[in-house]
A and B are shown apart, each in its own frame.
Chain A
């Protein structure tokens, strides 16, 4: 009753603090997101600083072949004498780059397809059959085939992985759109003559943001794994660039003699992917606990 008056007053007086303080209190309530975000940030910092602070990861030094980890070479050296530490930390760059780019591309294209399919019934069927078809081909196989045809490069890796991930994102966007379309507030906005762009921006996008963000996080994690698998099979990042997948492929024969060449990149990969997945779970629980039903 009398409370309502005071509430609107304070809101009018302090508009600026809204976003920042909301984010801060959100993080305080969900410590997992804070920690996960911090670890991710750490990896990003490493990725940015690695080429500046560490020795050249491609520099060959045959004298120092296969040294076990020591004070001189914290992570040891591989069969060409290259510093595993430098290669591992530089590998962060590839994984993060591919992961983030794939997430962005997948979200953008997935949104496009999903929105079209959700709003335009005529092409809904066509788009969904297309998505089903792409999903029917196991992602790794699809990616390898594409890579072998178009050649090895980071751009191609991003495109190939994105193609495999887009259908799931499109489905998620489409289901959300189908639900939102029926909501009374959308109907009201349409009756009021709201034009489509504004409708999308103010009514649709904010409400599909939650599942899309969560899925984008999972795509980020999945992309990093797929990139490493592709590189491991020789169909991903060119071998001249130090990526974790490449390191694992090269170190394979030395599993017994020099396990550190595999252990460190493997552990880093698992840790980074784990962080992103945990972030995804925490975001899902924070933004909309109902999403956990899909079990992803």
Chain B
């Protein structure tokens, strides 16, 4: 890989280190004894002692830090305090629902936002523009779970088209799986789509006022060709950037959506773990979510070269 790419990849290292350190200290900066926090108020002193041993909380801080670093480098995220299953195995078990939900949401969001944002930009100032933008503002002003409740009330409880909750695994059929993900996917997608539609419109509007669009018009090209081949390709960079950054909102939304729809994914695992004070799991999940976000943004950055030939590696 050439200079720029290499530097970009290396720049993710400090971020990973920060997150790992943050997660490490998260538990240890609480007021009070972390072991008691984890074991719970009703725990006996023997249980508390076991936890302390298990997590190495009785050793000097530096030792703990080094042990943690060593663990991470080996890919060992510890074991769940609650169930004693290795965290990595837990994550592996619950990965599929979350991944499918996120995928459905992303695809839906892009499929809705790009055309609508483009329409709003091309018909800027007109009725279509105002309507689309009004929906977009409403979309990211409503919390995911409010939209989720609305959807459940309308489409699950009243019309009965979709299940109110639950997840059908892929192993039971792709269509069944997707069917169970429609409502949660839409709830999640709406937020993401609103952000994307706004950016698409703003970016496209700016591009459409550029001189080379005037040249394209002067050549008598069709509006479709100008919008897609000339305008969107130039508007791509900011749009793709927001797809990356919006991922944070999406990952946060996953947590809520899985709770509302009772989907046994990583988000539910997170809320359960937090409620149960199962910190190894919490730590592992924070690391996983953050890593996904960092990697996706890295890919977004590296993808710029596809859209803009002036970016050279």
Q: CB within 8 Å of B: which residues of A?
A: 129-130, 132-142, 144-146, 148-150, 221, 225, 228-229, 232-235, 248, 252, 255-256, 259, 262, 266, 269-270, 273-274, 277-278, 281, 292-296
Contacts and interface: CB of A to CB of B under 8 A. Distances in A.
A268 B14 CA distance: 42
Contact of A144 (B137, B270, B277): B270
A293 B248 contact: no
A221 B137 CA distance: 11
B31 A145 contact: no
B307 interface: no
Nearest to B31: A150
B252 A269 contact: no
B15 A132 contact: yes
Contacts of A148: 274-275, 277, 282
B294 interface: yes
A176 to B, nearest CB: 18
B13 to A, nearest CB: 10
B274 A145 contact: yes
A22 B267 CA distance: 50
Interface centre among A129, A132, A145 (most CB of B within 10 A): A145
Interface in B108-153: 137-138, 140-146, 149-150, 152-153
A140 B259 CA distance: 13
Given A130-B18, A255-B157, A270 B138 contact: yes
Given A232-B256, A295-B203, A248 B146 contact: yes
Given A135-B248, A228-B143, A270-B138, A233 B259 contact: yes
Interface centre among A233, A295, A296 (most CB of B within 10 A): A295
Shortest Cβ-Cβ A-B pairs, 4 listed = A133-B18, A295-B199, A140-B252, A274-B141
Contact of B286 (A130, A132, A145, A294): A145
A132 B256 contact: no
A228 B289 CA distance: 22
Given A234-B275, A255-B157, A293-B202, A137 B290 contact: yes
Contact of B271 (A233, A266, A293): A233
A144 B195 CA distance: 23
A248 B255 contact: no
A296 B242 CA distance: 9
Contact of B26 (A135, A145, A229, A278): A145
B251 interface: yes
B15 A229 contact: no
B42 interface: no
Contacts of A270: 138, 141-143, 146
A149 to B, nearest CB: 5
B202 A248 contact: no
A221 B203 CA distance: 23
Given A139-B252, A233-B256, A295-B198, A277 B137 contact: yes
B22 interface: yes
Given A133-B22, A255-B149, A269-B146, 6 more contacts: A132-B14, A136-B290, A136-B294, A139-B252, A149-B26, A233-B256
Interface in B224-275: 238, 242, 248-249, 251-253, 255-256, 259-260, 270-271, 274-275
A137 B275 CA distance: 19
Contacts of B18: 129-130, 132-134, 136
Interface centre among B27, B143, B199 (most CB of A within 10 A): B143
A129 B15 CA distance: 7
Given A141-B270, A144-B270, A274 B138 contact: yes
A149 B157 CA distance: 37
Given A133-B14, A139-B248, A292 B293 contact: no
A234 B282 CA distance: 16
A278 B139 CA distance: 12
A141 B294 CA distance: 15
A146 B279 CA distance: 12
Given A248-B149, A274-B138, A269 B143 contact: yes
B186 interface: no
B19 A295 contact: no
Contacts of B277: 148
A144 B138 contact: no
A259 B29 CA distance: 42
A259 B153 contact: yes
